[in-house]
Structure 1
Amino acid sequence: MKYVLLNFLFIFLSLTVAVGQDVQYTFNVLAHQGEVFYRSNSDDDWQSVEIGLELRENHLIRIEKGGYLGLVHQSGKTVPYYKAGTYEVSRLHQRINLKPSAVAQKYANAYVESVTNPDNSAKETTRSVENKKLKMYLPNSVDVFSPEVVLRWKDQETLNDDYEVVFKNMFDEVLMVKDATDTKLWLDFEQEPIASERLLIVSVQKKQHKEVQSSSYGIKHMTPDESAQIEQELRELKLVFSGEENALDKLILASFYEQNNLLADALTSYEYAIELSPNIEAFHNAYDQFVFRNGLGL
């Protein structure tokens, strides 16, 4: 009798685990473009995928010609699919032999939440009230973690002209002036003469019409002590990514930086995502949503 009861208990526990595994999602949809569908292995009708859709092992995916699907695995590993065809989620799951990462899941979920449940009003950020024609996509002051970030601005002027980005120290002394032909500039904190500066005051102006200029913005590069906790989580994220990062990885990194209020770093990650996959509209939309919800460029 005891033997029968033990067998029954074993079967019951096995079924419980199996059910638990079935309800656990395997992949989450981060981005898609074109005609991409999913269904279960039964005779269910094909349905269009959406960002935030949780795919389980019993699902099938169908990507039509010209379609794109960006997935994040429960381990945090991202997988882009460009090739048309029908895929079994169970087989895609078998190809990724990684344990779940709580950090990667946290920031992937935060990204999905920001897209699927957007705030319809822009976040209030500290910024100048002056009505400037040139406006940088920055709050009035911002911390920066990365050694290099992109500075982006909006030009509401009708005058065609190149730009000058002016960098000053806290004593209002000009340290350097950088030319730009586009509405963005890559800033390397390790370059001279700004490498030893903790705080930079930056503004942008028209090259030939210097009276057309933006407000001034404070950019502070974080010290190793200030960035220690950020560095710890970032190391775990990059272990999950491992190898050459793709545009989907950059979305999760952007979410990571945004959640840690590092808006310049987040914007830079979105810029990288678009550079890596310029033809995928989802990355452009994600960038625009980020700018809006954080009240940048207003």
Structure 2
Amino acid sequence: MKTQKLTLLFALVASFASAQDYAFKVLATKGANEVKSGTDWVPLKTGASLRANDELKISENAYVGLVHSKGTPLELKKAGNYPVKKLEDEIKPSTGVLNKYTDFILSSNSAENKKDRLSATGAVDRGENYAIKLLLPENQYSGIFNNTAIITWDGSKASGPYVVTLKNMFDDELVKFDTPETSFKIDLNDPHYAKENAILVEVYSKADPKQISKQHLIKRLAPAEQATVKKKLEADMSSATEQTALNKYLMAGFYEENKLLIDALSAYKEAIQLAPDVPTYQDGLDEFLLRNNMKK
């Protein structure tokens, strides 16, 4: 019996070591990219683990986003062959724990999680019937860490141009403006609301003010919360400070796992702006909106 237990223990340890034995994980890919493990070339897929002896082949006008096992992100955009061991040798070491968010993103967007979400029957229908759907979370997740946020909405049921209204908690109007777009960027340092701890956002159709959105709250984090998030951000994401689409995508994972959904939304939008032709980032945003009940 003791021998059987030891055998099982060694098998579990070996299995764990094997699972950890990778050089990079693939977070994003666009184009006819391939990977060679052994003698065969196979299509490169998001979520794949690359080992030191593998080789990548990047096609023309393609893109690959990787994260090293020690937490360093890497974007590849130039066509050619890349031995994985050579890529490992060229990256800078990381001091953060970015892999935690790599796994969170891959797990959140996995086929299994998508299947679970589609089969879920416990969603709450509040009976709301708004012509304009602001893509913002419910008020319990209205906290924001950054000073800027990209606010978007679904205007498919209401024609533009749109009127955006920002109010304080007493429902006093702070600023109002028109826009033909279905998004705008809010800067909390703006003199109109720089002193406000929370603001209310509402959008309606200029042609028909009855076509309106639900009012949503955006609230600054309390100083103690702000300090906690800042410390965690600096510790965990130190290798993702460069302004790249991949880093923004990883940052979205950090914000989502820390329940900062407005910040996560903005990070997704910035990733898409930096790499508009990489479907992984738009798909990631769509899944984020669905699993956080901001979109049906």
User: Does structure 1 conserve the Cα–Cα contact (< 8 Å) formed by 2:144 and 2:218?
Assistant: yes
RMSD between aligned residues:
2.5
Partner of 1:251: 249
Identity %: 30
Distance 1:29 1:128 in 2: 39
State the AA in 2 paired with 1:213. Answer: I
State the AA in 1 paired with 2:109. Answer: V
Task: After TM superposition, give the deviation of residue 157 of structure 1 in Å.
Answer: 2.2
Partner of 2:101: 107
Matched, 1:47 2:42: yes
Matched, 1:35 2:29: no
Distance 2:165 2:19 in 1: 57
Distance 1:198 1:265 in 2: 16
SS in structure 1 at match of 2:285: helix
Partner of 2:129: 131
Distance 1:226 1:64 in 2: 45
Distance 1:283 1:23 in 2: 26
Distance 1:114 1:282 in 2: 13
Larger Cα-atom Rg: 1
Task: After TM superposition, give the deviation of residue 218 of structure 1 in Å.
Answer: 1.4
Partner of 2:202: 203
State the AA in 1 paired with 2:150. Answer: V
Gaps of 5+ in 1: 1-19
SS in structure 1 at match of 2:102: helix
Partner of 1:26: 23
Task: After TM superposition, give the deviation of residue 34 of structure 1 in Å.
Answer: 1.4
Partner of 2:169: 170
Partner of 1:10: none
Which of these residues, 289, 292, 295, is aligned with residue 293 of structure 2? 295
Distance 2:144 2:56 in 1: 40
Partner of 1:57: 52
SS in structure 2 at match of 1:119: helix
SS in structure 1 at match of 2:61: coil
Partner of 1:71: 66
Distance 1:22 1:87 in 2: 23
Task: After TM superposition, give the deviation of residue 197 of structure 1 in Å.
Answer: 0.9
Deviations 1:61-107 (A, max 9, x none): 112223221111123221111222111000000001304632x1111
Gaps of 5+ in 2: 1-16
State the AA in 2 paired with 1:27. Answer: F
Summarize the Cα distance change of 1:211–1:46 in structure 2 as closer, same or farther, 3 Å threshold.
same
Partner of 1:154: 154
Partner of 1:285: 283
SS in structure 1 at match of 2:151: strand
State the AA in 2 paired with 1:257. Answer: Y
Task: After TM superposition, give the deviation of residue 30 of structure 1 in Å.
Answer: 0.5
Distance 1:241 1:119 in 2: 27
User: Does structure 2 conserve the Cα–Cα contact (< 8 Å) formed by 1:128 and 1:215?
Assistant: no
Distance 1:169 1:23 in 2: 50
Distance 1:125 1:253 in 2: 27
Distance 1:289 1:297 in 2: 9
Distance 1:183 1:125 in 2: 26
Partner of 2:86: 91
Q: Give the paired residue count.
A: 277
Summarize the Cα distance change of 1:77–1:69 in structure 2 as closer, same or farther, 3 Å threshold.
same
TM-score by length of 2: 0.86
Partner of 2:185: 186
